[in-house]
Amino acid sequence: MTATAEAASTRLSPLARAKAILGGSAGNLVEWYDWFAYAAFTLYFAPAFFPKGDQTVQLLQAAAVFFLGFVARPIGAWLMGLYADHAGRRAALSVSVALMCGGALIIAITPGFKTIGLWAPAILLFARVLQGLSVGGEYGASATYMSEMAGKARRGFWSSFHYVTLIAGQLLALAVLIILQRFLGEAELKAWAWRVPFVIGALLAVVVFWIRRGLEESIAFKRPAQRETLSRGQVISAAVFLVLTVISGVLGVTTGPLARPGQILGAVFLVLFFVSLIVPLVRRHPRESLLIMGLTAGGSLTFYVYTTYMQKFLVNTAGFSKGQASEISALSMIGFMLLQPLAGWLSDRFGRRPMLILAFGGGALTIWPIMTGVSQTASVTTALVLILAGMTFQSCYTSISAVVKAEMFPAEIRALGVALPYALANVLFGGTAEMVALAFKHGGLESTFYLYVAGVMTLGLICSVILKDTRHHSLIHED
């Protein structure tokens, strides 16, 4: 049987396709709600876990824990990617949401610094690592599942709902924030109400766990295929470097003479750990892995600038109130969400590559005037229009981020191939976006950060130009 005939024989009905997309989307929404709830409520819970210092210092400390959650994402991507390629997409999706539930619940019930001292930030870090493992595994499994379950003719459109639900999760976190801000005072939010969103997230995750257990497995995984094997040497080297990273990190947070060497060695061993994870994949699929990392660098950095960091930028730099900043962020995210299916549909008509070139080329040219304009305006409307302009370019990447990556890899290694390069680039650029921006601001060089973002987006533009249009060269044959 030819590949075309085989694809036709396994084509999903419209109802089955919609059920699969909606089922995968529901879990994706809850995963990202839990992830972004941390960022949305940082302004309120940072003093509870990091009581010393001014507001910018507290935000830097909370951002450091946010970054360490990103560090866990490549581990989750590696473990869940392998699991999804061996046990199935559905099984990996169920495990990832269970981890997210545990992380959210721990944050919700952990006492503050005044009650248990240094245990408070330590437990917060542990919970964030659990969430990092979850999100790292979620991206590859859900992006692969939704891309495989979407039909060939409308794969860009249907897979764009991966980012629709990602953004919807962030919007849900913002909605909870705005509601609490409307009905409670700042003192109550800082005292106890910041725990509410994490309780909500844990309860929603339990519901989604049962939903995902009932999902249909993707046709691409069901087909007999030679699965990628994991060498014992890779496991041993990764485990050794991870243990050395943890030991060095523990030394790095002490106050003795070993603190500085511990920090340096921790960074070195962490890099070696990541290298041990990615090298086997790069050896098998060098072009695809490196292109995904380049695209993700520009795309993730810009996404976190316009979403997670923008709320703090509106307060600390532009001078808006916290309530105004939350409302601007919510309105801009609604517009951003609605742009995703349109941009995905356009990629089905005109190709993935032109959309990526528009995203990174336009984004690199406009990031400076947009950020400068937002920082200098006192108008809510002007700030909203400027942010939406940047998000319009960004949507040309985010809408097809999942499908472009999934179309580059064969089914037997697709989940790992999508997840791991993405997660590593996210650590370096998405996870550090807020820390780098706040560090530039703390040093009085905030506008230099705009140039940094433009430079990383230029890297994404170069990768877009090099990339073959995956709409015409897709390795997903199922329809």
Whether the pLDDT of residue 179 is over 50: the answer is yes
**Tokens coding 63:** 């951002």
Measuring CA to CA, which residue among 415, 90, 34 is closest to residue 206? 34
Whether the pLDDT of residue 4 is over 60: the answer is no
Distance CA 145, CA 8 (A): 19
Per-residue confidence (pLDDT) for residue 1, from 0 to 100: 44
Backbone angles phi, psi at 321, to 5 degrees: -70, 165
Per-residue confidence (pLDDT) for residue 148, from 0 to 100: 82
Burial bucket for residue 5 (CB in 10 Å: 0-12, 13-18, 19+): exposed
Per-residue confidence (pLDDT) for residue 142, from 0 to 100: 85
Q: How far from 428 is each of 67, 141, 433, CA to CA, in Å?
A: 9, 21, 9
Per-residue confidence (pLDDT) for residue 446, from 0 to 100: 84
**Cβ contact 30:205 at 8 Å:** yes
351: alpha, beta or left? (left if phi > 0; alpha if psi -120 to 50) = left
Region 250-272: what's the mean pLDDT? Answer: 80
Q: Sorting pLDDT into bands at 50, 70 and 90, what band is 36?
A: confident
| Residue keyed to tokens 């809408």 | 399
Q: Which amino acid is at 197?
A: P
Region 238-257: what's the mean pLDDT? Answer: 79
Per-residue confidence (pLDDT) for residue 377, from 0 to 100: 92
Distance CA 470, CA 302 (A): 23
57-71, 259-273, 309-323, 421-435: range with lowest mean pLDDT = 57-71
**Cβ contact 390:306 at 8 Å:** yes
Q: What percent of the chain has pLDDT over 70?
A: 91
Burial bucket for residue 474 (CB in 10 Å: 0-12, 13-18, 19+): middle
Give buried/exposed letters for 430-449 (b at 16+ CB in 10 A, else e): bbbbbbbbbbbbeeeebeeb
**Tokens coding 76:** 């989750």
Q: Which amino acid is at 139?
A: Y
Average pLDDT score, the chain: 85
Per-residue confidence (pLDDT) for residue 479, from 0 to 100: 59
Distance CA 435, CA 425 (A): 15
**End-to-end Cα spacing for the chain:** 15
The C-alpha angle 38, 420, 355, rounded to 5 degrees, equals 85
Distance CA 387, CA 367 (A): 10
Q: Sorting pLDDT into bands at 50, 70 and 90, what band is 442?
A: confident
Q: How far from 315 is each of 176, 321, 323, CA to CA, in Å?
A: 19, 6, 9
Give buried/exposed letters for 210-239 (b at 16+ CB in 10 A, else e): ebbeebeebbbbeeeeeebeeeeeeeebbe
Distance CA 393, CA 355 (A): 9
Whether the pLDDT of residue 7 is over 50: the answer is no
**Cβ contact 348:385 at 8 Å:** no
